[in-house]
């Protein structure tokens, strides 16, 4: 029978606190903060971290993966249209061809492999952390995010009133899905406008999302379904190819813009 090391409760607590604070301290100044840990944010984070870019994903839930665990209608199969199955091959996610050009994979398998790939690449996560606001500099350059613990943000103010904290980065990515939380916050401030995502049209939506993925304002890149909400593009339901490819494109845009953004004061 295994005999465990004699470790007591305070050691366990100190291990957690020490490791958490070290990471929080380090990532209070990140290269890139991605808001939202769904398929587009994870894909972008994976590529950025692979390129040696210090990347933090801020996620309001205790789990990462967003809508990628489940396909449509509570059925845990996800679909991808060619050529996006290349990403499934890359990540070694088993899949079947349902009809020529349409691929099906198990949501839990696809999602967990993508999360693992992002972790392996070096992405760090602040989960149970909700995006509240942006940090803005001259010329409306987005230079970080204001965050709070998710439970605090969801309690009534008469029970708790806790100020958020801010973390800085050279660039921010809105990967919050249909809500486009970062762009919507800028809209609330009269700096930007969102159109709201359009009705379903699978044939058109995926190319349009890819086309519009990119820099929305200085320091802010939009990816995934937040692109659709920002620009009024059709939704596409439980097909995920453009989420993964949009994440890839968003990462490429960030890589090309980072030197300019790093020089900005
Ligand atoms: O919704 P989500 O999976 O976004 P995505 O990467 O992919 C969209 C598809 O899942 C699907 C679709 C097309 O296939 O229609 O919906 O664009 O993941 C968004 C993540 O952002 C988190 C949210 O919990 C989810 O995990 N999120 C949203 N708002 C906030 C946030 C916020 N204010 N702060 C932190 N995280």
φ, ψ dihedrals at 200, nearest 5°: -65, 135
Compute, in angstroms, the gap from residue 174 CA to the centroid of ligand 1: 9
- For residues 82 and 95, give the distance between their C-alpha atoms in angstroms, rounded to a whole number: 12
Residues with CB under 6 A from ligand 1: 35-41, 58-61, 66-68, 130-131, 175-177, 179, 181, 224-225, 235-236, 239-240, 243
Q: Which of 62, 67, 102, 200 to mutate to test the pocket of ligand 1 (most atoms within 8 A of CB)?
A: 67
Compute, in angstroms, the gap from residue 59 CA to the centroid of ligand 1: 9
pLDDT of residue 265: 66
Locate the ligand 1 atom nearest the alpha carbon of residue 226 and give its number.
17
pLDDT of residue 153: 78
Q: What is the pLDDT along the chain (265 residues), one digit of tens a residue?
A: 999 999 999 999 999 999 999 999 999 999 999 999 999 999 999 999 999 999 999 999 999 999 999 999 999 999 999 999 999 999 999 999 999 999 999 999 999 999 999 999 999 999 999 999 999 999 999 999 999 999 997 788 788 888 999 999 999 999 999 999 999 999 999 999 888 999 999 999 999 999 999 999 999 999 999 999 999 999 998 999 999 999 999 999 999 999 999 898 6
pLDDT of residue 193: 87
90-96's contacts with Cβ under 8 Å and 24+ in sequence apart are 91/117
pLDDT of residue 50: 98
User: Is the whole-model pTM more than 0.85?
Assistant: yes
In this structure, the chain runs to a length of 265
Q: Which residues of 139-175 are buried (b: 16+ CB within 10 A; e: fewer)?
A: eebbbbbbbbbeeebeeeeeeeeeebeebebbbbbbb
Domains of the chain: 27-264 (3.50.50.60)
The two beta strands, 55-59 and 29-35, are parallel
pLDDT of residue 49: 98
Cα end-to-end span (Å), the chain: 59
């Amino acid at each position: 029978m295994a005999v465990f090391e004699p470790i007591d409760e305070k050691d366990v607590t100190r291990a957690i606190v020490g490791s958490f604070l070290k990471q929080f301290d380090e990532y209070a100044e990140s290269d890139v903060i991605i808001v939202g840990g769904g398929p587009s944010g994870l894909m972008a984070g994976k590529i950025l971290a692979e390129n040696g870019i210090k990347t933090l994903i801020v996620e309001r839930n205790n789990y990462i993966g967003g809508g990628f665990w489940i396909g449509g209608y509570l059925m845990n199969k996800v679909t991808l249209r060619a050529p996006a199955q290349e990403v499934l091959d890359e990540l070694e996610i088993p899949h079947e061809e349902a009809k020529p050009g349409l691929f099906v994979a198990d949501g839990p398998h696809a999602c967990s492999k993508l999360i693992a790939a992002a972790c392996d690449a070096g992405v760090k996560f602040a989960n149970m952390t909700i995006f509240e606001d942006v940090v803005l500099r001259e010329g409306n350059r987005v230079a970080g995010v204001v965050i709070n613990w998710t439970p605090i943000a969801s309690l009534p103010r008469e029970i708790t009133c806790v100020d958020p904290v801010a973390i800085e980065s050279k660039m921010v990515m809105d990967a919050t899905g249909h809500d486009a939380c970062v762009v919507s916050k800028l809209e609330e401030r009269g700096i930007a406008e969102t159109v709201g995502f359009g009705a379903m049209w699978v044939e058109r939506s995926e190319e349009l999302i890819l086309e519009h993925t990119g820099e929305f304002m200085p320091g802010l890149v939009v990816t995934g379904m937040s692109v659709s909400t920002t620009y009024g593009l059709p939704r596409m339901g439980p097909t995920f190819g453009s989420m993964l490819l949009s994440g890839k494109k968003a990462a490429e845009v960030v890589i090309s813009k980072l030197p300019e953004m790093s020089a900005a004061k």
